[in-house]
Structure 1
Amino acid sequence: MSTATTDKRAKLVTQQDRRRQEVRLGWMLAGPAFVVMLLVTAYPIAQAVYDSLFSLRLTAPDERDFVGLQNYLTVFSSTDVFWRAMLVTILITVLAVAVQLVIGFALALLMHRAIVQLRGSLRTAILVPYGIITVVSAFAWYYMFDINSGFVNRWFSWVPGISEEMDWFAETWSALAVIIASEIWKNTPFIALLLLAGLAQVSDDLLEAAKVDGANWWQQLTRVVIPNMKAAIMVAVLFRTLDSFRIFDNVFIMTNGDAGTEVLSLLAYRQSIMRLEIGLGSAVSVIMFVCVVLIAVVAVKGFKVNLAEGTGSNAGQKKETK
């Protein structure tokens, strides 16, 4: 009995030592990058928080009046400006990320199942939009739908609701449709690439076992493939959600916030750069930062992913693979 207890204790100590070594190795590999990112981002964030507590204009940087949380109260009380920008930002984020996830997963499956000889060419073709600079992509989409220089109205005038005189950027919903479409076209390859890496981690043995048990294609997908690539899905959704929530280039180039398309990042830009209200602009930026942190926390907690193992909880995984 004592020998068995000793063996269990020795095994436990070995596991703990191995875990400590893995943690130490992880910090050694990620530590330098973490320190650099902290140095680059910590000061701007701290400066923004500090400036948001003052009544500060860019034309008089030496005249600082401490106002505490008054800038935040001013931002939150501006119903027609801030909350509309928040609503538009959330709408763009939710719709863009949802469509990107569906299309990206389909593209990942296509690249994963493609013939070996065609995989390289197929992946290159799919990743081309992601390699284009965001500003260039935004200008391309703007000129495609512009009422004067665009070809969309001429080519698709036969589609109900589209005419050669249609001004896409004059109405809120049509302008948002173009902005969201440009986001989807530009960033779907990024999600597809991350999900492709997740698909590569799904064991062929699990799929073969599911086939032997009589599972059809849909059951294999929902009960084997998706549960075992939950970490990749979480990373893809998290990255794209954070990026879409901070959207700026497409909105600035296509509408400049007109026609009810102003987003939070553009609102912060207007307050800080155009109206020279550094205090109010910093308050909007800090609110955006808090929202981004909350999104990240909710995503990590909601997916319940063990990033160390690259899967969900062990119990959940066993349940799904039975």
Structure 2
Amino acid sequence: MSAATATAAQPEVPRSTTGRQRRSDRSTAENRLGQKLVAPAVVVMLLVTAWPMLQALYLSLFRYRLTTPNDRAFIWFSNYWTILKDPLFWHDTFNTVVIMVVTVAVELVIGFAFAMVMHRVVFARGGIRTAILIPYGIITVVSAFSWQFAFSINNGFVNSWFGWLPWISADTNWFGSHWPAMFAIMVSEIWKTTPFMSLLLLAGLSQVSEDMVEAAKVDGATWWQRLWKVILPNMRAAIMVAVLFRGLDAFRIFDNIYVMTKGAQNTESSSFLTYRQVIEQLQLGLGSALSVLLFLTVLILAWLIVKLFRVDLAQARGEA
């Protein structure tokens, strides 16, 4: 058999298969490198957090209050059953979900607008970025006290500045009922953490190919069409990370509520309820069970956010 015949007899390997193989090898190598890079941090985090988590899980199975240490008894999952059938737990969970959904949604819109400004601006870019990020650098407690003063009925500026609105007057008591107090808490949270959201979105916006945007503009696409068809689809991974980080952080909200209302007017969150059980009432068993439920809820929430966005990481890296 001649060399030419032997060469012709060999089946051709499809290019798509070869390309997929190269992408697979690249993905495997990147995954291994990523695992090696994060391994030290994971080990340190486990050393720091594993024991407290296991201790909380252990204490959640006991009836244990520091004021009566001799009354400690192993009661299996009774603490969890007590919590799950308590309307206060579900009310506080509802408050937490409302705060999380509203703040993250508003921060996503405003943060994207800020990210567009920081990405497109040419003049005084460093100064504008610094000004936008200033609120995030302020300590949360200081920010909460500032907004408590702003919404004060006696000397706050909100009533005087926005008195032209039909639902706001000079004697509007923002902390006198549930929803106005919740609104004040959410405003303080949005003001404080929107810069963080804009920073994450700016990182995603910088990854959008300018050639694709210019090509869509040449094809006659309007600004809105370029936004919905080109920019946002290519930012899906960055948006998922931003929503994931901020959603989990907002679900654990505590500082703003503690400073502004201390849970009054039914503004407690899940974290604040855990604080009251452990610190104020010294209920280590119930408090530990609440912390375990909060941890499980955060895990489920993270899983739902990842599933909701359905981000193809290979495509986000440009491999597909």
TM, length-normalised to structure 1: 0.90
Q: Distance in 1 between matches of 2:45 and 2:175?
A: 38
Q: Mark the CA change 1:307 to 1:35 in structure 2 (over 3 Å): closer, same or farther.
A: farther
Alpha-carbon shift at residue 11 of structure 1 (Å): 7.2
Letter in structure 2 aligned against 1:230:
R
Question: Which residues in structure 2 correspond to 1:34-113 (within 5 Å)?
Answer: 34-61=42-69, 63-79=71-87, 81-113=88-120
Question: Which residues in structure 2 correspond to 1:218-233 (within 5 Å)?
Answer: 218-233=224-239
Question: Which residues in structure 2 correspond to 1:300-311 (within 5 Å)?
Answer: 300-310=306-316
Q: Tell me, yes or no, if structure 1 residue 151 matches structure 2 residue 157.
A: yes
Letter in structure 1 aligned against 2:254:
F
Q: Mark the CA change 1:203 to 1:50 in structure 2 (over 3 Å): closer, same or farther.
A: same
Question: Which residues in structure 2 correspond to 1:1-322 (within 5 Å)?
Answer: 1-2=9-10, 4-5=12-13, 16-61=24-69, 63-79=71-87, 81-115=88-122, 117-310=123-316, 314=320
Letter in structure 1 aligned against 2:125:
R
Residues 229, 311 of structure 1: 8 Å contact kept: no
SS of match in other structure, 1:57: coil
Q: For each residue in 1:229-261, what CA deviation from the matched residue of structure 2 results, as whole angstroms up to 9, or x when unmatched?
A: 101100110111101100000001111101010
Letter in structure 1 aligned against 2:138:
I
Alpha-carbon shift at residue 6 of structure 1 (Å): 11
Moved more, 237-246 or 154-163: 154-163
Moved more, 158-167 or 1-10: 1-10
Q: Distance in 2 between matches of 1:136 and 1:128?
A: 13
Alpha-carbon shift at residue 287 of structure 1 (Å): 1.0
SS of match in other structure, 2:147: helix
Letter in structure 1 aligned against 2:86:
S
Structure 1 residue ranges, 4+ long, deviating more than 4 angstroms after superposition: 5-17, 60-63, 311-314
Q: Distance in 1 between matches of 2:136 and 2:20?
A: 47
Alpha-carbon shift at residue 34 of structure 1 (Å): 1.6
Q: Mark the CA change 1:120 to 1:285 in structure 2 (over 3 Å): closer, same or farther.
A: same
Q: Distance in 1 between matches of 2:12 and 2:279?
A: 71
Greater Cα radius of gyration, structure 1 or 2: 2
Letter in structure 2 aligned against 1:106:
A
Moved more, 214-223 or 138-147: 138-147
Q: Mark the CA change 1:12 to 1:77 in structure 2 (over 3 Å): closer, same or farther.
A: closer
* Structure 2: gaps spanning 5 or more residues: 1-8
Letter in structure 1 aligned against 2:252:
R
Residues 92, 268 of structure 2: 8 Å contact kept: yes
Letter in structure 2 aligned against 1:82:
F
Q: Distance in 2 between matches of 1:170 and 1:101?
A: 29
Q: Mark the CA change 1:312 to 1:266 in structure 2 (over 3 Å): closer, same or farther.
A: farther
Q: Distance in 1 between matches of 2:292 and 2:17?
A: 49
Residues 227, 312 of structure 1: 8 Å contact kept: no
Alpha-carbon shift at residue 214 of structure 1 (Å): 1.6
Give the number of aligned pairs: 312
Residues 303, 312 of structure 1: 8 Å contact kept: no
Q: For each residue in 1:188-221, what CA deviation from the matched residue of structure 2 results, as whole angstroms up to 9, or x when unmatched?
A: 0011011111110000111122122221111100
Letter in structure 2 aligned against 1:175:
A
Residues 145, 153 of structure 1: 8 Å contact kept: yes
**Aligned-CA RMSD value:** 2.3
TM, length-normalised to structure 2: 0.90
